[in-house]
Amino acid sequence: RDPLLDVTDLSVGFDGFDGYADVVGNVDLRVDRGEVVTIVGETGCGKSVTTKAITGLLDEPPAHVDGSVEFDGMDIRALSDAERNDLNGDRLGMIFQNPLSSLNPVFTVGEQLTDTAQFGGNKDGGILSYFRQRHNKADREGARERVLEMLREVQMPDPEAVIDSHPSELSGGMRQRALIAQALLNEPDLLIADEPGSALDVTVHDRILSLLTDIIEERDMSILMITHDLGVAREISDRIYIMYGGRIVEAAPTEEIFEDARHPYTQGLIASIPRLSGTQMASGIDGSVPEYTDPPSGCRFHPRCPYADDDCRGAEPSRTSFGSDSHAVCVRHSDDGPTPTIEGTKHR
């Protein structure tokens, strides 16, 4: 184990019109050096909020963030804004879901990416970026060359034209490629990718994912990837965290998730991947993700779980570990075992 990112007991809540929303809680997760780790869950399960909290991108308030986030031994949450800006875009690369809102419409792709190449995440022109600029041997031209090179690497069509275009002149897929290039420019130690390409149509999405897969294979980079698609996670990850209702409900190395899923939600996700369950009539999981202002009592999955009983509606289940990398949060696996029911072996 060589953790590059180490998150302990992260929680995020928001003050809203309907009262306090406990959106993410008890999140422990780790990305080792050179490891590809994925967080999988449905839309609305708290994945994006988790990654935003990790990278310090949530405004507090209205968000309330608690817990510890260590990046290479540094406490990210204790950094000043300038220090964090310097880290984001330099040692930490980020790719977000919506390529339109992540690029500034006013500047050309080249201007934005060249800034990143020169100043990392710190584009405010403060003393720090001035300092960096002076000590960066690459002048603006050199940085522009690096941008062109990176645009080629992400298979951008016609990079020489794209570099002088505004984001509005590019297709969604091209914008997503520009953002991937931007995230990789400074060879980050950790790349955080939140559903890259998912806002695009299926074919483009697939191409973006295969591009990312190639990039992952070629580089010795740690990745934290967010996806709603367990099939995608299977292709790229060393380890998987399954998230439901703002909680990590299961964690395990990828093969273990597919061979021995322990949590009923994980089992449901696997059953709804058609090519794995061998049927187009995949069972899926009925119901929808919980409301955070009024979450279900006890296990947040209980309204949708085929095994739910009174134990599950009581307290939130505790975590049961299976070796150092695997755990599940479900009474069916709790150390005390399930409370015997009249049927006796109902649970196992």
Kindly state the smallest distance separating residue 130's Cβ from Mg ion, in Å: 36
Nearer to Mg ion, 112 or 176 (CB): 176
302 contributes a contact to ligand SF4 by CB under 6 A: yes
Number of residues that bind ligand SF4 (CB under 6 A): 13
48 contributes a contact to Mg ion by CB under 5 A: yes
Kindly state the smallest distance separating residue 343's Cβ from ligand SF4, in Å: 14
Task: Restricting to residues 251-280, name those near ligand SF4 by CB under 6 A.
Answer: 263-264
Kindly state the smallest distance separating residue 148's Cβ from ligand SF4, in Å: 51
312 contributes a contact to ligand SF4 by CB under 6 A: yes
98 contributes a contact to Mg ion by CB under 5 A: no
Using CB atoms, what's the residue nearest to Mg ion? Answer: 48
Distance CA 272, CA 107 (A): 43
Neighbours of 155 (CB within 10 A): 14
Nearer to ligand SF4, 39 or 113 (CB): 39
DSSP state, residue 201? -
The interface region with Mg ion, picked from 2-10, 48-56, 121-129, 160-168 by CB under 5 A, is 48-56
Q: Is 54 left (phi over 0), alpha (psi -120 to 50) or beta?
A: alpha
Nearer to ligand SF4, 234 or 263 (CB): 263
Give burial (CB, 10 Å; 0-12/13-18/19+) of 188.
buried
Distance CA 19, CA 154 (A): 44
- Say which entry of Mg ion, ligand SF4, none residue 299 contacts (CB below 5 to 8 A, set by partner kind): ligand SF4
Distance CA 156, CA 165 (A): 13
Contact in structure between 157 and 174 (CB atoms under 8 Å): yes
Distance CA 38, CA 175 (A): 23
The whole-angstrom distance between residue 109's C-alpha and the CA centroid of its chain comes to 25
Number of residues that bind Mg ion (CB under 5 A): 1
Nearer to ligand SF4, 119 or 292 (CB): 292
136 contributes a contact to Mg ion by CB under 5 A: no
- Say which entry of Mg ion, ligand SF4, none residue 257 contacts (CB below 5 to 8 A, set by partner kind): none
> Closest Cα to residue 332, out of 270, 266, 264, 244?
264
| Residue choice 23, 307, 319, 327 for contact with ligand SF4 (CB under 6 A) | 307
Contact in structure between 249 and 298 (CB atoms under 8 Å): no
Nearer to Mg ion, 48 or 213 (CB): 48
The interface region with ligand SF4, picked from 144-152, 191-199, 222-230, 298-306 by CB under 6 A, is 298-306
- Say which entry of Mg ion, ligand SF4, none residue 191 contacts (CB below 5 to 8 A, set by partner kind): none
Kindly state the smallest distance separating residue 303's Cβ from ligand SF4, in Å: 8
Give the per-residue contact string, 150-169, with ligand SF4 (x = CB under 6 A; - = no): --------------------
Kindly state the smallest distance separating residue 257's Cβ from ligand SF4, in Å: 15
Interface residues with ligand SF4 (CB under 6 A) are 263-264, 299, 301-302, 305, 307-308, 312, 317, 330-332
Interface residues with Mg ion (CB under 5 A) are 48
